[in-house]
């Protein structure tokens, strides 16, 4: 990946708050680098003083002349304390800076996950029709975590370490330019050689890690969500084998990535050891005084001790964010796709409001609408027009794939017609949130929280804001009172994942109670009785009959008995309305 492209992705994932705080961190890095230089300089001075105090005193500048009145022993003690103080201050500052880096990164992680979740939640409905939720979960959880831990933090550490190396080498080059140049060239060659051998390998491994991680989540999701069917068929080992296969692939790739990131450390450790020994031998060989050799070698040894972890960290950081660059790309691609699309962004603004205002209506209609799903050769709806009045009950019948659910999604505004439009009282909908505040949606598979019955009825309302009177009334209206009374903890009973403690009919009633609690005027039932037995279906139908005239009902069904009491039926076939009228009129024309 080109540096310009990578930088574009990196800065796009930084929000305004992070960009505002970043310069403060860089200033702290610069201060830390200055203290590192001071520490190296003091080590050199201390060693020079220790090996030849008289020579040191002769070279003291005139404005430090008061030091010449001190004994050699006191000078050694004073400079020793200065060295100790410098390194203590540096250690404290380093700890503070590292703490700030971690807090900076983790704070951004929270905001970035919220940003990504927002992008997914308010993405066009058609986007989710083409995506597997396991991959989206992987983006939010694992890919963002890896971007923060293995990209953002290494980049910040790279900035800090780069300033340290620059300042220390700059200081050493003033005192010993030739030796410093040789040391810098050695660092450069180690980094270059290592980079040439591992760059392509690490990029390939990065992609494997990102994709295999998403596959692991997908395998776990499938194996657990379909546990009943899987167990009945005895296919547990199929999903277990899939998980093991992908997990091994993930583990092998991560293992190699981590191992490659450790290689620079061992190379540089040996390089510095060889350099220090060579410098000592070379100094003696050219006839330098032993005191000068000790001071020079000591200073470079101190610098090397500081540069060793720093240069190692620089190379490690480069390889680390290169190894996880693909995960950054995945997060960036999803955000850029969802946030830059002008039409989606404008539409999503109406979702984000918490306004509970409802769009008043007497009737609404789909006027000559057509819709074709991406990558489909046939239209889901073709020039369909229907009108629905307030408090009317509408039945939608027809074979699978006829366009019934697509029609409902157009009414909800989840899908935007490619031709025609949705009109409310003959006017286009300007605020989708206000329009949706009229609706409750009850699908075949009810969405239930793994939580209490109360929280499922008052879905999305925090405990302190739940209106107990409204919960009680909703439970009664949905004929759930007897069920609630039989539960061990009443409304505070945990109903299990997907409402496993409730029957199919009871889950439908929870969804109805939810609609009543949130005071929704239009209730959509999408194949809500198709998975119920005859007796339970009758109970739900009786509830529908009681709602007739009080709520606007849109009922999608295969079973004729479910829509028998609806005011108007529409039969759809191949994306077109082929019959419209009362139950007797439509059913008299055709049968399902």
List the chain domain ranges: 3-344, 352-589
Give the best-scoring range by mean pLDDT among 137-141, 159-163, 309-313, 427-431: 427-431
3-state secondary structure of 578: strand
Residue 275 CA to residue 197 CA, distance in Å, equals 24
Q: Is the pLDDT of residue 344 over 60?
A: no
Average pLDDT over residues 247-276: 76
Of the listed ranges 109-123, 451-465, 527-541, the least confidently predicted one is: 527-541
**Helix 236-285 × helix 290-323 angle, to 10°:** 160
Residue recorded with tokens 């050699």 = 72
Please say if the pLDDT value at position 61 is more than 60.
no
Residue 240 has pLDDT above 70, yes or no: yes
Residue 367 has pLDDT above 70, yes or no: yes
Pairwise CA distance, residues 424 & 151, whole Å: 49
Count of H helices and E strands in the chain?
Answer: 23, 10
Q: What is the DSSP string of 317-331?
A: HHHHHHHTHHHHHHH
User: Cβ of 519: how many Cβ atoms within 10 Å?
Assistant: 13
Do 410 and 380 contact (CB within 8 A), yes or no? no
* Higher per-residue confidence, 131 vs 387: 387
Give the β-pairing of 419-424 and 363-371. antiparallel
Distance, CA of 116 to CA of 136 (rounded, Å): 9
Equal CATH topology for 3-344 and 352-589? no
Query: CA-CA distances (angstroms) from residue 21 to 8, 326, 462, 491?
Result: 19, 26, 33, 47
CA 178 to chain CA centroid, nearest Å: 49
Alpha-carbon separation of residue 132 from 42, 135, 332, 551 (angstroms): 60, 6, 18, 35
CA distances from 212 to 114, 131, 150, 277, 371 (A): 24, 16, 17, 47, 35
Question: Is residue 510 over pLDDT 50?
Answer: yes
Highest average pLDDT, of 259-268, 506-515, 546-555, comes from 506-515
Task: Out of 23-37, 363-377, 464-478, 507-521, pick the least confident.
Answer: 23-37
* Among the listed residues 33, 11, 8, the one whose alpha carbon sits nearest the alpha carbon of residue 22: 11
Q: Residue 346: its pLDDT value, please? A: 47
Nearest-angstrom CA–CA distance, 390 and 360: 10
Element (H, E) at 523: strand 522-526
Superfamily (CATH) of domain 3-344: ABC transporter type 1, transmembrane domain (1.20.1560.10)
Q: What is the pLDDT of residue 345?
A: 44
Taking residues 175-202, report their average pLDDT: 74
Most confident region among 24-28, 218-222, 528-532 by mean pLDDT: 24-28
Measured distance CA(17)–CA(104) in Å, rounded: 10
Q: What is the pLDDT of residue 35?
A: 77
Distance between first and last Cα of the chain: 57
Q: What is the pLDDT of residues 470-479, one digit of tens each?
A: 999 888 888 8
Distance CA 364, CA 383 (A): 16
Q: Mean pLDDT across the stretch 65-82?
A: 71
Each residue's pLDDT tens digit, 394-417: 889 888 888 888 899 899 888 888
Between 420 and 374, the more confident residue is 420
The per-residue pLDDT for range 445-456, each reduced to its tens digit, is 788 888 899 998
Tokens encoding 271: 């390089």
What local confidence, expressed as pLDDT, does residue 591 receive?
44
Q: Determine the pLDDT at residue 231.
A: 64
- What is the total residue count of the chain? 592
H/E stretch holding 449: none
Distances, alpha carbon 15 to alpha carbons 54, 93, 106, 160, in Å: 58, 26, 13, 21
**Average pLDDT value over all residues in the chain:** 79
Do the Cβ atoms of 36 and 307 come closer than 8 Å? no
Query: Percent of the chain beyond pLDDT 70?
Result: 82
Question: Is residue 58's pLDDT more than 70?
Answer: no
In whole angstroms, give the CA distance from residue 136 to residue 217: 10
Distance CA 233, CA 467 (A): 45
Q: Which pLDDT score, from 0 to 100, does residue 399 have?
A: 87
- pLDDT (0 to 100) of residue 370: 92
Read off the pLDDT band of 592 (50, 70, 90). Answer: very low
Per-residue pLDDT band at 528 (split at 50, 70, 90) = low
Residue 57 structure tokens = 């005193």
223 three-class SS: helix
The mean pLDDT value for 17-39 works out to 82
Taking residue 5's Cβ as centre, other Cβ atoms within 10 Å add up to 12
Instruction: Give the Cα separation of 426 and 205 in Å (integer).
Output: 57
Q: What's the rounded mean pLDDT across residues 452-481?
A: 88
Per-residue pLDDT band for 48 (boundaries 50, 70, 90) equals low
Q: What is the CATH number of domain 352-589?
A: 3.40.50.300
Neighbours of 470 (CB within 10 A): 16
How far is it, in rounded angstroms, from Cα 278 to Cα 272? 10
* Average pLDDT over every residue of 378-391: 89
Coil, helix or strand at residue 162: helix
- State the pLDDT at residue 124: 76
Residue 225 in 3-state DSSP? Answer: helix
Mean pLDDT of 101-122: 86
- What value does the mean pLDDT take over residues 349-378? 79
Mean pLDDT of all residues in 206-234: 73
> Which of 219-228, 235-244, 404-413, 475-484 shows the lowest per-residue confidence on average (mean pLDDT)?
219-228
- How confident is the model over 166-183, as a mean pLDDT? 78
The answer to whether 419 and 384 are in contact (CB under 8 A) is no
Residues 6+ apart with CB under 8 A from 400: none
Mean per-residue pLDDT, 125-144: 80
DSSP annotation of 57: H
Q: What is the mean pLDDT of residues 319-339?
A: 78
Question: What CA–CA distance (Å, rounded) separates 264 from 188?
Answer: 12
CA distance 511 to 446: 7
- The C-alpha angle 525, 527, 530, rounded to 5 degrees, equals 135
Residues 308, 168: Cα–Cα separation, whole Å: 12
Kindly tell me if the per-residue pLDDT of 248 is higher than 80.
Answer: yes
Q: Which residues contact 334 (CB under 8 A, 6 or more apart)?
A: 116, 119, 120, 139
Question: Which helix or strand (DSSP H or E) is residue 141 part of?
Answer: none
CA 164, CA 305: separation in Å to the nearest integer? 12
Question: For 172, how many CA atoms within 13 A lie in the half-sphere containing its CB?
Answer: 30
- 316 close to 154: Cβ distance less than 8 angstroms: yes
Q: Does residue 264 register a pLDDT over 80?
A: no
């Amino acid at each position: 990946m080109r540096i310009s492209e990578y930088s574009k992705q990196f800065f796009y994932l930084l929000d305004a708050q992070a960009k505002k705080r970043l310069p403060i961190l860089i200033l702290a890095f610069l201060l830390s680098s200055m203290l590192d230089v001071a520490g190296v300089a003091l080590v050199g001075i201390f060693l020079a003083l220790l090996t030849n105090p008289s020579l040191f005193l002769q070279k003291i500048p005139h404005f430090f002349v008061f030091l010449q009145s001190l004994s050699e022993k006191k000078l050694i003690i004073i400079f020793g304390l200065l060295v100790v103080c410098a390194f203590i201050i540096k250690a404290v500052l380093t700890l503070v800076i590292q703490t700030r880096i971690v807090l900076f990164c983790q704070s951004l992680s929270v905001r970035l996950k919220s940003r990504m979740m927002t992008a997914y939640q308010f993405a066009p409905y058609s986007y989710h029709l083409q995506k597997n939720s396991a991959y989206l979960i992987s983006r939010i959880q694992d890919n963002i975590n890896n971007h923060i831990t293995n990209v953002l933090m290494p980049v910040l550490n790279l900035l800090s370490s780069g300033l340290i190396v620059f300042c220390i080498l700059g200081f050493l080059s003033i005192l010993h330019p030739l030796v410093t140049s040789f040391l810098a060239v050695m660092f450069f060659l180690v980094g270059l050689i290592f980079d040439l051998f591992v760059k392509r390998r690490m990029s390939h491994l990065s992609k494997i890690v990102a994709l295999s991680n998403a596959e692991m989540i997908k395998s776990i999701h499938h194996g657990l969500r379909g546990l009943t069917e899987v167990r009945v068929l005895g296919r547990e080992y199929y999903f277990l084998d899939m998980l093991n296969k992908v997990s091994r692939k993930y583990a092998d790739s991560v293992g190699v990535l981590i191992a490659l990131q450790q290689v620079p450390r061992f190379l540089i450790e040996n390089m510095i050891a060889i350099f220090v020994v060579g410098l000592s031998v070379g100094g003696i060989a050219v006839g330098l005084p032993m005191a000068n050799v000790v001071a020079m070698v000591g200073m470079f040894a101190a610098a090397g001790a500081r540069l060793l972890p720093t240069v190692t960290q620089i190379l490690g950081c480069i390889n680390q964010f290169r190894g996880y660059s693909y995960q950054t790309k995945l997060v960036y691609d999803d955000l850029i796709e969802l946030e830059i699309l002008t039409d989606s962004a404008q539409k999503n603004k109406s979702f984000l409001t918490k306004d509970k205002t409802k769009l008043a209506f007497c009737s609404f209609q789909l006027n000559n609408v057509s819709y074709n799903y991406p990558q489909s050769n046939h239209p889901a709806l073709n020039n369909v027009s229907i009108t629905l009045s307030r408090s009317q009950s509408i039945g939608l019948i027809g074979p699978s794939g006829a366009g019934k659910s697509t029609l409902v999604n157009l009414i909800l505004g989840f899908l935007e017609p490619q031709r025609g439009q949705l009109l409310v009282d003959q006017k286009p909908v300007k605020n989708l949130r206000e329009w949706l505040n009229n609706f409750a949606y009850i699908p075949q598979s009810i969405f239930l929280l793994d939580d209490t019955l109360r929280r499922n009825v008052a879905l999305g309302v925090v405990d302190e804001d739940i209106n107990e009177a409204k919960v009680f009334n909703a439970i009664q209206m949905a004929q759930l009172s007897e069920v609630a009374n039989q539960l061990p903890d009443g409304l505070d009973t945990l109903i299990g994942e997907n409402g496993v403690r409730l029957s199919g009919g009871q889950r439908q009633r929870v969804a109805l109670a939810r609609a009543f609690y949130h005071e929704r005027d239009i209730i959509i039932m999408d194949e809500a009785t198709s998975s119920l037995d005859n007796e339970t279906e009758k109970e739900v139908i009786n509830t529908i009959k009681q709602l007739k005239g009080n709520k606007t009902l849109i009922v999608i069904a295969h079973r004729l008995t479910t829509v028998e009491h609806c005011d108007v039926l529409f039969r759809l076939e191949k994306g077109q309305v082929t019959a419209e009228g009362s139950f007797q009129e439509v059913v008299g024309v055709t049968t399902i």
